[in-house]
Structure 1
């Protein structure tokens, strides 16, 4: 059986491996009597880095977001191991969602808009049925305008994430890189970023999904069960 077709999201595993375990190591095992500042940082970063590489190799799927996540881990490790100024950590934290937001915005001027690929694709919705119904109702132009508005809403969600990442990093991480205190604060940053940034961003994205569904319902008259793609 092809592993690429059987891969299912495992949010609890992702949270444990990428957030819970690294945060525990950074906050509790980075003291001089444990792993030390450098050893604790390497051990903590090894979990999300190893998990990300494992996912990419096993399922052999190019995932732009996953690659940015791996790049983020490597940059964090570089900042800690080379004991760079803390400002670079805040810049890095803001840069990742900012890059995604800019990519989403720029893609609207290309033949392959990312929002269309993410939200309006045959794996999620019955695209052909929706297009046919839009044409019957002479609503294709109105739908395209609202899809563009959905794109701007997605960009706003990434802008919010970038700003919050920067603020949280500047607020929490104040100790010099390469110290146990830096590791502990980095663990707090990792831990707090989920409820303070990831969850609100997720709710914003769900709001965009709801907006798009309401748009399709209003313009086509299709119910939710008629819009969703049939399971293969």
Structure 2
């Protein structure tokens, strides 16, 4: 009985990334709804907007509740969805959409920078954590070689680069929103443009940002390898 309880608890507490599912629910389905079902003969502009936003909102809420773990970035994502809905349903000026698109990643970038002044830089949460890297072994080797301070300096540099990826995303989000979404909020054309913006945001913003994150991770790996002599398989977190 205890084994069954432990297994159930473990399965609900462990979050496994599902990028394809996230892409489908957060971008593809909402974009198609906005572009194809916003006409008066279908759901109408407001109905399509509500349905489209229900997918990422419901999925994000489900994940937050299921795994019972506060996630600052996920929470900002949910707030972003709610703000988009508010702008569309209240028919606010399009400028607010561009500001909102820039504000979310911008706030994350600022939080990453501010965290460098605390004991817990956000890069430790996002990249240098026990779910990704074998943190204990890395720290042990760093202490043995007397390289801990050198590594902390490199980690600080990586943190600055990490904040830069969010500021890049912020600027690109603003530019994309201003370029594509030009119709009045609450209209069929606004929804179609919003859907198109969501689709284009992946190749124009998400993929470049992922490449930047990979470059930062490579920098960390080279730093760790150079200071500790550990191989890649020793640096990565052990698989359960």
Interval of TM-score (by shorter of Structure 1 and Structure 2): over 0.9
- For 1:190-201, list aligned pairs within 5 A: 190-201=198-209
SS at the partner of 2:239? coil
**Distance in 1 between the 2:134 and 2:208 partners?**
28
Q: 1:14 aligns with which of 22, 36, 40?
A: 22
Counterpart of 1:142? 150
2:50 is the counterpart of 1:42? yes
Aligned to 1:182: 190
TM-score of the superposed pair, with normalisation by structure 2: 0.93
Distance in 2 of aligned mates of 1:5 and 1:225: 25
Q: Report the alpha carbon displacement of residue 121 of structure 1 after superposing the two structures with TM.
A: 2.0
Whether the 8 Å contact between 1:56 and 1:62 is mirrored in structure 2 is: yes
The answer to whether the Cα contact below 8 Å between 1:173 and 1:182 also exists between their aligned partners in 2 is yes
User: Are 1:4 and 1:61, in contact at CA under 8 Å, matched by a contact in 2?
Assistant: no
Decide whether the 8 Å contact of 2:53 with 2:81 is kept in 1.
yes
Q: Deviation of residue 75 (structure 1)?
A: 0.1
Look up the match of 2:5: none
Distance across 1 between alignment mates of 2:186 and 2:196 = 16
Deviation, structure 1 residue 132: 2.1
Query: 2 CA distance for matches of 1:172 and 1:93?
Result: 13
Tell me what 1:218 maps to. Answer: 226
Structure 1 runs of 4+ aligned residues shifted over 4 Å read none
Q: What stretches of structure 1 of length at least 5 have no aligned partner?
A: none
Deviations 1:129-178 (A, max 9, x none): 21222122221121111100000110110010000000000000000001
Question: Are residues 1:57 and 2:57 paired?
Answer: no
SS of the residue 1:7 aligns to:
coil
Q: Residue 157 of structure 1 aligns with which residue? A: 165
Q: Are the aligned partners of 2:91 and 2:186 in contact in 1 as well (CA < 8 Å)? A: yes
CA shift for structure 1 position 19: 0.7
CA contact (8 A) 2:13 2:68 kept: no
Output the CA distance in 2 between the equivalents of 1:59 and 1:128: 24
Counterpart in the other structure of 2:93: 85
**Greater Cα shift, 122-131 or 46-55:** 122-131
**Once the 2 structures are TM-superposed, how far is the Cα of residue 127 of structure 1 from its aligned partner?**
1.8
